[in-house]
Structure formats: structure tokens, C-alpha cells
Amino acid sequence: MKIGSKIIRLEEVDSTNEYSMRIAPEVPEGTVVVAGRQTAGKGRKNRSWASPEGGLWMSVILRPRRVDPRLVFVGALAVVDTLSDFGVASAIKWPNDVWAGGKKIAGVLTEGKAGQYAVLGIGLNVNNTVPEEPEAISMMELVGAKVPLEKVLERLLFHLDGWYRVFTERPELMMAKVRERTFILGRMVRVIQDDNELIGRALDVLDDGSLLVDVSGQLKRVVYGDVSLRLF
């Protein structure tokens, strides 16, 4: 299985994740869906994801052996490596964002049906801007010129394929890299999960993907999920 050996290209779609879930039962593993724009791009908890022309909006259909929330890091690491190929320094904001230049440049959304398929969706701001999101930034804004979108996709697929292999075979190695690439460690964070909120210092990303936070001397493990994280 190679990620991207089959690519479905759409000019416009509601959401590449939604589309991928519709076709997942009938396509080979590693199939990629990429769209020029999304009319209903989504983040977690049905937050909306701005997906105008010029960005990279894509999903890959996978059939992992078991449900593993760490799949999200395959996407985040692949984005960081791709950006580095274009001279853009970035880092992971646990759990599912990639930040560059102090702003959010990409988001990862994993979904799926246990035992059947998983969809790994990535939104990366390339030649688009997101004027309605003050915290968003794009490659074009950072590089100061347009970036060849097709090359970005090519590099992203290459890195996704590599990291997916590591995730499958040596997840602890992948987590070591996540730890290295996460910029929030050592910083004060506010973690919001449903009605719960905690404030503390982010200490570590554990091998199971959770975040270790020091809350006034008490160590708390925050499990990956629909967690929002604010920095101070």
C-alpha cells in the first residue's frame, strides 16, 4: 500500500473527509481525495474550516488494524516535514494543529468507522488567505510568493507515506518525533474539554499520545480527544 497511488481530484466538494467516508468501502487503501475548494470544510466538533481556492484540502483513506488516535500525528508530522521542504519552519500544537510564524497554518482531522476504515484529513493554507481567522497564516504569506500547490501535495504524500509506515511499525519512534516537534512543552496552557478546564504547564507528550500537564504540582494526563488548547 502506498499513500497516493490513487488520487481523486475534485474541483469542489463539501468536505474531502465526508467524500472519503462515502467512498471508503469501495476504494483501495491509500486513496487520496483532493479538492480545489470545500463548501463545508470542517474541523473537530463540526467547527467550520475555511477552504477557499489556493489551499490544500485533502484526505487519505486508510485501513489501520485498530483504532488509534495517534493517527492524527501522522498528518501533523507530514505537514511539518513538507513545510520544511519549502523552507518554512513550523511545529505541532498538540493535538492536531501545525503552527508557523506564530499562527495556525494547518489542521488535521481524523475520522472513521472502527474495524473498517479511517480517514485522515489535512487542511494546509498554501496560496490562500483566511481573512476571517486572525490566527491563520498561509505558506504564501510566510514565503512572500506563491508556492506550487502540486509540489506541496507531492511532498505531503511522500511524508504521509513515510510517517504512516513508522506509525504502523514503530509508533514509539513516531511519538519521539512528535515530542521533538511539539512547541508547547514547557509552556503554560489552558486545556478545555467539554465543561472541564485546567490550567498548567505542559510537560510532555506521552507515548500513548496524551499530554502531561503540571497543574499546581499535580500531574494530569490529558487524553487526546476534542480538546482545545490555549497558550498564554
Choose the binding region for ligand BT5 from 46-54, 177-185, 187-195, 207-215 (rule: CB under 6 A).
46-54
DSSP code at position 83: H
Of the candidate residues 57, 117, 163, 224, the single one contacting ligand BT5 (CB under 6 A): 57
Of the candidate residues 4, 64, 112, 121, the single one contacting ligand BT5 (CB under 6 A): 121
If the CB atoms of residues 31 and 59 are measured against ligand BT5, the closer one turns out to be: 59
**Is 130 near ligand BT5 (CB under 6 A)?**
yes
Longest dimension (CA), the chain: 52
Check if the beta carbon of residue 38 is closer than 8 Å to that of residue 57: yes
If the CB atoms of residues 43 and 162 are measured against ligand BT5, the closer one turns out to be: 43
Site for ligand BT5 in 100-119 (CB under 6 A): 104, 107-109
If the CB atoms of residues 15 and 127 are measured against ligand BT5, the closer one turns out to be: 15
Of the candidate residues 2, 9, 22, 47, the single one contacting ligand BT5 (CB under 6 A): 47
Cell of 231: 497558550
Cell of 196: 472541564
How would you label 97-135 residue by residue, b for 16+ Cβ within 10 Å and e otherwise? bbbbeebbbbbbbbbbeeeebbbbbbbbbbbbbbeeeee
If the CB atoms of residues 130 and 189 are measured against ligand BT5, the closer one turns out to be: 130
Phi and psi for 54 in degrees, rounded to 5? Answer: 105, -20
What is the rounded distance in angstroms from the CA atom of residue 177 to the CA atom of residue 198? 26
Site for ligand BT5 in 135-164 (CB under 6 A): 136
Closest-CA residue to 39 (of 21, 59, 19):
19
Judged by the rule CB under 6 A, the positions of this chain that interact with ligand BT5 are: 15-17, 38, 41-44, 47, 49-51, 57-59, 96-97, 104, 107-109, 121-123, 125, 130, 133, 136
